[in-house]
Structure formats: structure tokens, C-alpha cells
Amino acid sequence: MKVSRSASPESARHLEESGATGRTLTVDRAGRDQRRRDNMRGTQTRSGTDRDESPPAVFRESQNASVRNIPSSDNRSSGAQIGNQIRNVPDGGRCRIEICD
């Protein structure tokens, strides 16, 4: 799946810097909420930002994910890009994140 650098520059940078790009990730929606809670613990929110997880919580490999504050619009754009591309991927399906443009 692809994440657009022009639409989500901070998310793209975070994905690259955390090593989430180019590796195989496993879709696991059932564990998403617990992984998100665990990963967000200890990272404070800031006005105008979202806490971005890399790799995203929907992937099993996001345990102990990198978390940083990035602009809300950037985070939500990359989340929508990923969500739309894995919509028809079943739990247990595998994919890779690539950064484009």
C-alpha cells in the first residue's frame, strides 16, 4: 500500500524513520484498540496535533510502536489512505507500506 508524501509529509517521515516502510505487516483489527492504548501511554497530546503511531495500530507489528505528535490533518490523511487500501484485506492479510511522490 502507498502513503503519499505530498499529502502526509510528517506521517511519511515517521513511517520511514521508524522502519515501518518496506517490511511485511499483518492486518489485525481485533487487537488494534489495545495496541493503541498501550502505545499511547506516556505520550501527551498537544493542541492541533494527533499522536501518530508507526506502524499503525491496525497492524499486529505495531506493539511498542514509535509515537510522536504530528499535525492532525497529516495524521488523519495518512490514516485514511491506509484504511482505504486495507478495507478489503482480511485479518491475517499481509502488506507493505511504501511512500510515494
Report pLDDT for 48: 95
| Locus of grid cell 490533518 | 73
What mean pLDDT value characterizes the chain? 97
pLDDT, tens only, 2-16 = 999 999 999 999 999
Nine cell digits for residue 43: 505520550
- Low-confidence residues in the chain, pLDDT < 70: none
| Predicted local distance difference test score (pLDDT) of residue 77 | 98
Query: What is the pTM (predicted TM-score) of this model?
Result: 0.93
Helix (H) or strand (E) holding 4: strand 2-4
57 in helix, strand or coil?
Answer: coil
